[in-house]
Amino acid sequence: MAASRVPVALIGVGGVGKAILQQLLSAPLASKFNVVLVANSRLSLSLPLPNNAPLTEGNLAPILEQHGQALDVTSVISLLANHPDGKGVLIDSTGSDVVPSLYPTMLAHGVHIVTPNKKGLSGASSLYDAIQAASYPNSKALIYGESTVGAGLPILSTLKDLVGTGDEIERIEGVFSGTLSYIFNEYSKPEGSNVKFSEVVQIAKNLGYTEPDPRDDLSGTDVARKLCILARLCPGAPVLPEGAFSVPTESLVPPVLTDAKDKDEYLSRLAEGDEHFAKLRAEAEKEGKVVRYVGVIDLKAGKVECKLGKYDKDHAFATALKGSDNIISFSTKRYSPRPLLIQGAGAGADVTAMGCTSDLLKVYERIRY
């Protein structure tokens, strides 16, 4: 039963996109998927290359510059919708909100979507509803976004299984940002810590754990996006009409620094916020607790929020969590009083790519069954 390979187009070839390409071109995936197009935000490259020249994630950039044509997303949709081997999959590994705005169109053409891009699934309800209306079970077009939350960790699939089998979600709580995990694991330890907040942020930045502008992590927006994606899978959760922007989100840019004009001014004045965080840490320590930046979906209270929380020193978020790992806890009717916990690297190109390629395998198993 040698089924034809599934056509795949990859848009976005930053760190994650390159890692996806590397996995797609390797066994065991190469026998199932046929990469027909690779693109960055400007240029697209049809494959195979002339003379079947080998493409790797290493030589991609120069080949794209040399042989690439101007990217035209409409023609990419057409390519995948009309491929002789059947409907293909578009992998949106961009960080843009332009590509997600086209998801309903792609799905309406029968093109499947796999994406680590949070912008679509955590966007306004109007877009989210249009995506749902255009995809399975309302059509044959599939959309998977496992790696939008917890990278390669099985977070969305576990939540879907819980809900799909009739469990009742009571509370989802977790440390969803690798950057903020690292910062607070260093800043607030069960055994105590004296390091300054600005120092930890600077170290995190030097280690490459933060976005170029650390405020993109410290704003909490990334966590709000993940919570929004999860909440939309929970029956009875609050409706979030503006997506992530409807999630109350505590910013870790302290009041004294909100007037910083740009990244450089913010970074140079980082120490001005130290007192603010030292006070929070001291308060927690007085209660025998540590501070963690968490996302919480509380179905009983009808709340979705991102905030600094205080946790007992023997809580899993204090003791078990290390480095820049994510930890997500599901408290449900069945998983009670103790939750179902999933922990591990929640960021990084290889594990994020894995979330996408495992989604691709799920698409494959369905459309090539």
Selected binder of a copy of itself within 51, 66, 165, 194 (CB under 8 A): 165
Beta carbons of 74 and 82 less than 8 angstroms apart: no
- Count of residues that interact with a copy of itself, criterion CB under 8 A: 49
Q: Of the two residues 245 and 335, which places its CB atom closer to a copy of itself in the complex?
A: 335
351 near a copy of itself, judged by CB under 8 A: yes
Q: Give the interface segment with a copy of itself, choosing from 88-96, 100-108, 126-134, 347-355 (CB under 8 A).
A: 347-355
Q: CA 215, 321, 330 angle in degrees (round to 5)?
A: 95
Q: Which x/- pattern over 323-342 shows residues binding a copy of itself (rule: CB under 8 A)?
A: x-x--------xx--xxxxx
- Residue 177, classed as helix, strand or coil, is coil
198-217: contacts with a copy of itself (CB under 8 A):
none
70 near a copy of itself, judged by CB under 8 A: no
Residue 332 phi, psi (nearest 5): -135, 175
User: Which of 99, 111, 104, 33 minimizes the C-alpha distance to 72?
Assistant: 99
Is 192 labelled as part of a ligand binding site?
Answer: no
DSSP code for 260: -
164 near a copy of itself, judged by CB under 8 A: yes
Q: What is the C-alpha to C-alpha distance for residues 9 and 222, in angstroms, rounded to an integer?
A: 26
Q: Is 226 an active-site residue?
A: yes
Which tokens is 305 given?
């929020």
Q: CA 286, 328, 287 angle in degrees (round to 5)?
A: 5
Selected binder of a copy of itself within 28, 50, 62, 84 (CB under 8 A): 28
Q: Residue 151 CB: number of other CB atoms within 10 A?
A: 25
Q: Give the interface segment with a copy of itself, choosing from 174-182, 248-256, 270-278, 344-352 (CB under 8 A).
A: 344-352
Judged by phi (left if over 0) then psi (alpha if -120 to 50, else beta), residue 261 lies in alpha
Is 344 labelled as part of a ligand binding site?
Answer: no
User: Which of 169, 171, 123, 177 minimizes the C-alpha distance to 150?
Assistant: 177
- The residue annotated as part of the active site, out of 226, 263, 289, 322, is 226
**Which residues sit at the interface with a copy of itself, rule CB under 8 A?**
1, 23, 26-29, 136-137, 140, 152-154, 157-158, 161-167, 314, 316, 319-320, 322-323, 325, 334-335, 338-345, 348, 350-351, 354, 357-358, 361, 365-367, 369
| Catalytic residue positions, numbered | 226
